[in-house]
Every structure is written in structure tokens, then in C-alpha cells.
Amino acid sequence: MQHVVGSRTSARGTVRRRTLAVALAVAALAVVFAAPAGAATPRQATATEISSVKDGKAGTILVAGNTVYTLKGKACTATCLKSWKPVVLPDGETAATAGSGVDEAKLGTKAAAGGALQITYGGKPLYWSTKDKAAGDVKGAGSDKFGKWSVVVTAKSSGGGGTSTTNAGTGGSAF
């Protein structure tokens, strides 16, 4: 009998060790695939609707949850994508919806990494900035090592302002 009890105890210990090993492996994978330390992520990973909001400095700008941006003159590479998240459609969706203040004719898509469809406006791919923490933030506007980033302005503000902006489709500055 003693031998049987010992086997049961040994089996329980083996199951516990294996369960612990699996839990540790899952935790390790979560760390490996997590965002880099200090990097913010947009409030959402995908979008189906592009809409507009009024910004006191820039005017009426495009948003998909958070403010969206375009990159002037070059493509956003793998290194760039650590700070700039492409605005992509959820799996199975093929087109974005135009919300209030958005010209539906200017919405489109382009192929992105992993078979995703990235939303475009006026032919320019849209991105979220990891600097923006809340809807309406425009902390990504300006230049960085990847190029010049602009919010997409659909209507200019009547007041002045220093935010770098672009009228998608025209390529011109809003100010």
C-alpha cells in the first residue's frame, strides 16, 4: 500500500511540475511578444470606420478611435512600425466605412503585412501614433527619423496653429 500512495504522490507532483512549466512557458511567450518597454499602443488594433473631429489648431481631422496620420514621401518600414501602427481592417472586412465629415470616395485599402488591409485616404496609408494616449491627441504630428507625419485635415481651422497637417489627396499643407 505504501508503494501505491507514493506513486500517487509522485504522479501529483509530476502533474503540478508540468502545469507550472506550461504556465511559465506561456508567461515567457507573453513577454517575448509584448510591446517594447515604454511603447504605447493605440486604443485599438483595427478599425472599420474613419470619422472626423474638430481640433482647435488644425481644424477638422480624421480619426479611427485615435487621430490618424500619413507619412510624406516614403514607406513605413519594420522599424518604423514599432512607433507607428497601421490602421488596418479587421479580418474578413474589405472596406472602411466613412463616418461624419469623411469623403467616402477617398477611402481605400492597400495590402499590408500578414495579409491585412491597411486603410488609405486619398491614396495615402493611415497610421496611429504610439505617442497619442487618448482620442483627439495629435502628438505624432511633425518629423521624426522616419519622415514627416501629418494629421489628415478635411477642413481648415479659422485660427492659426503650429500643428503640421496635410489635406489628403491634395498633398498640400493646411496652413
Beta-strand relationship, 49-55 and 97-98:
parallel
Statement to judge: residues 165 and 118 lie in one domain = yes
Residue 39, in any domain of the structure: no
Q: Kindly state the average pLDDT of the residues 100-111.
A: 96
- Note down the domain range covering 122: 49-173
**1-5, 74-78, 145-149: which range is least confident on average?**
1-5
The pLDDT value given to residue 113:
83
Q: How far apart are the first and last CA of the chain?
A: 88
Statement to judge: residues 62 and 2 lie in one domain = no
- Grid cell 510591446 is found at 35
Statement to judge: residues 9 and 89 lie in one domain = no
Is the pLDDT at 168 greater than 60? The verdict is no
Statement to judge: residues 30 and 53 lie in one domain = no
Give 168 or 26, the one with higher predicted confidence: 168
Q: Kindly state the average pLDDT of the residues 140-152.
A: 95
The pLDDT value given to residue 175:
23
Question: Per residue in 49-82, pLDDT tens?
Answer: 999 999 888 899 999 999 999 999 888 999 999 9
Statement to judge: residues 23 and 54 lie in one domain = no
Residue 88, in any domain of the structure: yes
Domains in the chain, number:
2
Q: Does the reported pTM lie above 0.75? A: no
How buried is 40 (Cβ within 10 angstroms: 0-12 exposed, 13-18 middle, 19+ buried)? middle
Distance CA 71, CA 60 (A): 18
Percent of the chain with pLDDT over 70: 65
The pLDDT value given to residue 86:
96
Beta-strand relationship, 117-121 and 107-111:
antiparallel
Q: Kindly state the average pLDDT of the residues 135-155.
A: 92
Statement to judge: residues 93 and 136 lie in one domain = yes
Is the pLDDT at 161 greater than 70? The verdict is no
Statement to judge: residues 76 and 161 lie in one domain = yes
Residue 43, in any domain of the structure: no
Summary mean pLDDT of the chain = 76
- List Cβ neighbours of 147 (8 Å cut-off, separation of 6 or more): 71, 72, 73, 74
